[in-house]
Amino acid sequence: MTLKQVFVQNLKEFRKKESLSQMKLADYCGTAHSYIGEIEAGRKFPSMDLIEKIAKTLKIEPYLFFKSRTGKNGLVEISQGNSRMAYSAKKQLQKQVKNHIKSRINFSTNQILNEVNDIIEKY
């Protein structure tokens, strides 16, 4: 199974689990109604931004779209022909996770600094 096929299979599964139609998911993600159908049919592939929006709407982490349930240890088995796509997707996901972690650290740091400033202002 290719990485794209795994993505499509997982998208359908997670969407149905949330009892959302393709049209409703498209509405929540701010994309054309037909676009989700095109993705699920394998004719289109979403941008990383749209993957993030879809994941947020479906209440999952974006990497779960790429996690095969049939491969060894839950990992996607990639054929030689798709190694470039897998590498690219892996790099994009790594960057996305890194940025998410940075934003959470920045948020936490700012929250702590605000609390410290509040304490200092009281004294």
How does pLDDT run across 3-25, given as a tens digit for each residue? 889 999 999 999 999 999 999 99
Q: What is the CATH number of domain 3-122?
A: 1.10.260.40
pLDDT of residue 88: 67
How does pLDDT run across 46-105, given as a tens digit for each residue? 999 999 999 999 999 998 998 877 544 444 444 434 445 566 677 777 788 788 777 778
Contacts within 8 Å (CB) and 24+ apart, 62-68:
62/93, 62/96, 63/93, 63/97, 64/10, 64/14, 65/6, 65/7, 65/10, 65/11, 65/14, 66/3, 66/6, 66/7, 66/10, 66/93, 67/6, 67/10, 68/1, 68/6
Q: Hey, where are the domains in the chain?
A: 3-122
pTM: 0.58
